[in-house]
Amino acid sequence: MRNLKVTMAYRGTAYHGFQRQENAVGIQNILEEKLSALTDSAVKLNGCSRTDAGVHAREYCFSFETEHKIPCGNIVRGMNSLLPDDLAILNCEEAPADFHARYSCKGKEYMYLILNRREKDPFLADLALHYPYELDTELIASAAQDFVGGHDFTSFCGTANQKADSFRTIEYFKIEKSENLVKLLVKGDGFLYNMVRIMVGTLIFINEDKLPADCIPRILAARDRNLAGKTVPAHGLYLNKVYY
């Protein structure tokens, strides 16, 4: 039995997240269907993250086991010939027997992309949040540093799926601006449901003076979702890099 590690990218607009769905189309549904056809066997894969409907990935990893002897390069070429244009296989490699795309993961980097100009851009309609107001990147970059370190992120977790263990460690939170595009990059050892989207929404509330610039430590300590900012739309979020 071979254990294969596969890296892919996808545009999540047309899908109800990565995870397999019974009554909707998840990316996992399509991957398993095409991999099963390619290897002439039933394939069940393990993804590194669930990701919400509309979220994108510039780098996503999944693993699966197969007895088929098909070379890794042929999996890349074969899958790319079968998949729709919004899904792409980037790499496939042999992995140790105990490798698991989710449980072997040491950390992830997410990116939230904002188009910061008055006019909307039809070519970024489902790829970036259109924010037509002035965005003080220095202000939100300074405030974002209060997320760095180990914290209980209950206040920044969607209430529909809170976990018993809400402690996560953030390695960095960076803000990069190039002309009208603003990238918010956050790396951590793990993320709760809607966590990045609520963190970004809180920074936007700080930018709009709806929350004070020094509010994040108090919100973290309170463990109360109602104190944090809004949950920004999914279409600006990307799983940017996965670390093993």
Tokens standing for residue 6: 């596969």
Instruction: Write down the catalytic residue from 52, 146, 165, 224.
Output: 52
Cβ neighbours for 229, distance < 8 A, ≥ 6 positions apart: 198, 201, 202, 203, 204, 205, 206, 210, 211
Nearest alpha carbon to residue 98 among 202, 1, 213: 1
Q: Extract the tokens encoding 150.
A: 């180990």
**Chain position carrying tokens 């990307």:** 238
Number of Cβ atoms within 10 Å of the Cβ of 229? 23
Residue appearing with tokens 């799983």: 239
Has 52 been annotated as catalytic? yes
Catalytic residue positions? 52
